[in-house]
Structure 1
Amino acid sequence: MQISLFLSALVFSALAEEKDGTFPRLADTTAVEAFIDSAEVVVIGFIEGEESHGYAELVAAAKRVDTIAYALCSVKEVWADYSITSDTITIFRKADNHQDNLVLSNIKKLETDGLVNFFTTNELRYLTEYSQVSAVGLFNSEVKTHLLLFANRGSKDYTQLQDRLKTVAPEFTGKFLFVLINGALKSNAKSLAYFSLKTRDLPRVGIYDGHSDMKWLLPEGEISTERVQEFCQSFLRGDLKDVKEAGAEGKTEL
């Protein structure tokens, strides 16, 4: 808690005076780094000023996607630290240490709807709820292995399980993306079926490896942080390679 408060104070103490009252202004690399570290997903407009191409659209899009923290940096000396050479809108996320640059000069017709789509499809967190929108960002990420929590929204342990996995996820940054699949949604029926699961079987935890297109289920039982950690480690050690996939010959599991 103290560290979080320190980072927040560092961010805002390093801000230049705001001209429009919309976004904080980041005046140096220290402020940028602190801002990036202040939330799981942030967007920074590396833009010269309010008259620049894309500024108005960024302001409008930010109002529609209010789950992300936004800031501006107009100091070009700072841009170089992030390999940015011209006006760019960048999204930073902790879940996979990802930086995605939208170079404004490369876009002939920039629209608010396009920016909203850019933000929502790339808004991956330590635990990202699966949907048609988030699927784009999940499968475009360089991290191709997913730790999946299948749980029914509204069940008594739903929130507790989410919180539990959120505490584990940072340990596996760059190795796994942690994904929540709400089994109560009919649109997720195919995801459950892929693991030979039904709504009544939940909650369960599985691993999907995009490199090998293989999947495994954690055996039934308490979904504790320790069991999830060991499940992830067993994959990283290669212990699952010789284990039959979930769904192969019925419901073969680890």
Structure 2
Amino acid sequence: MWLFLVFSLLATSSLAEDTAPADSALPRLADVTAAEAFIDSAEVVVIGFFETDGGYGYKEFLAAVEEVKTIPAALCSVKEVWANYSINSDTIAVFRKADGHQENLLLSKIEKLDSDGLVRFFTINNILYITEYNQVSAVGLFQSEVKVHLLLFANRGSADYKPLKEKLGALAPRYTGKMLFVLINGKEKSNERALGYFKLKSGDLPRVGIYDGVSDKTWLLPPGEISTERVQDFCDSFISGALQKEKEAGETNEKSEL
């Protein structure tokens, strides 16, 4: 299903311009140590594993990197490095810290490749320690193997919007591989459905919740100060199973009262 989605995104994109960068100022990763350092240098990075410059997808890769300047990019042609990341042929790979994921785009499997499609590939997989929810990021979020989301509902432009984003973004690395931290702008009309799923309205914000994609259940942090300590306790309670037991007990009581 994921490969089909990637094929569709690449195939339906407009054709790339004929004039792509002739050469690249991108760093060249000469050994595993350099690759590890580069991957560790940012929350999300992309590496073009090309055996030779000018191979299939090389020009399109450079053009896409030029457009998506927010994601650090590098090139690697050293097979020793390839083997360290299970790369066997020309591949474009995105590495993410938030869920410890490596997303590979095997170029030999892509019949029609253009830079616009690669830009979409980069953007979809740009999952950060705290990712703002939109129609594009939603694809990457729900494709992740990490199915639990810590949600910060806040109104863009409010006094607490940026401080809360920074506060929770700093907490997120503690939950790498366990939870993805997601920011939902309550003023965005397209996010009304997400708020409604938690029985919230824009005027109720800011609030913090947890969504478990496996059970399709939600939990809300009780109203009050959204401090690092309270959010951390909230996350830890979910991981320990305490929140789930509380919900189950509440649901059992509701049924017994009917």
Q: How does 1:62-81 map to 2 (within 5 A)?
A: 62-81=65-84
Deviates more, 1:140-149 or 1:62-71: 62-71
Give 3-state SS (helix, strand or coil) of 1:53's partner. coil
Would you say the 8 A contact 1:22–1:59 is kept in 2?
Answer: no
Match of 2:38 in 1: 35
1:173 counterpart = 2:176: yes
TM-score under structure 1 length normalisation: 0.87
Larger helix proportion of the pair: 2
Would you say the 8 A contact 2:24–2:62 is kept in 1?
Answer: no
Which among 87, 97, 102 is matched to residue 99 of structure 1?
102
Distance apart, 1:21 and its partner CA: 4.2
Whose relative contact order is higher, 1 or 2, with alpha carbons under 8 Å and at least 6 apart? 2
> How far apart in 1 are the matches of 2:70 and 2:46?
11
Extract structure 1 runs of 4+ deviating beyond 6 A: none
Distance apart, 1:242 and its partner CA: 2.8
Q: Percent identity?
A: 67
Number of corresponding residues: 228
Q: How does 1:212-227 map to 2 (within 5 A)?
A: 212-227=215-230
Which among 218, 234, 247 is matched to residue 244 of structure 1?
247
Would you say the 8 A contact 1:121–1:136 is kept in 2?
Answer: yes
> How far apart in 1 are the matches of 2:181 and 2:132?
9
Look up the equivalent residue of 1:109 and give its one-letter code. Answer: K
Match of 1:45 in 2: 48
Q: How does 1:1-254 map to 2 (within 5 A)?
A: 20-244=23-247
> How far apart in 2 are the matches of 1:105 and 1:165?
40
> How far apart in 2 are the matches of 1:155 and 1:78?
46
Would you say the 8 A contact 1:153–1:182 is kept in 2?
Answer: yes
Structure 1 alignment gaps of length 5 or more: 1-18, 249-254
Deviates more, 1:92-101 or 1:109-118: 109-118
Deviations 1:23-75 (A, max 9, x none): 11010000000000000000000112222111100011112211100000111
Give 3-state SS (helix, strand or coil) of 1:223's partner. coil
Would you say the 8 A contact 1:147–1:207 is kept in 2?
Answer: yes
Look up the equivalent residue of 1:50 and give its one-letter code. Answer: D
Structure 2 alignment gaps of length 5 or more: 1-21, 252-258
> How far apart in 1 are the matches of 2:181 and 2:138?
12
TM-score under structure 2 length normalisation: 0.86
Give 3-state SS (helix, strand or coil) of 1:116's partner. helix
Distance apart, 1:20 and its partner CA: 3.4
Look up the equivalent residue of 1:76 and give its one-letter code. Answer: K
> How far apart in 2 are the matches of 1:145 and 1:24?
35
Look up the equivalent residue of 1:189 and give its one-letter code. Answer: E
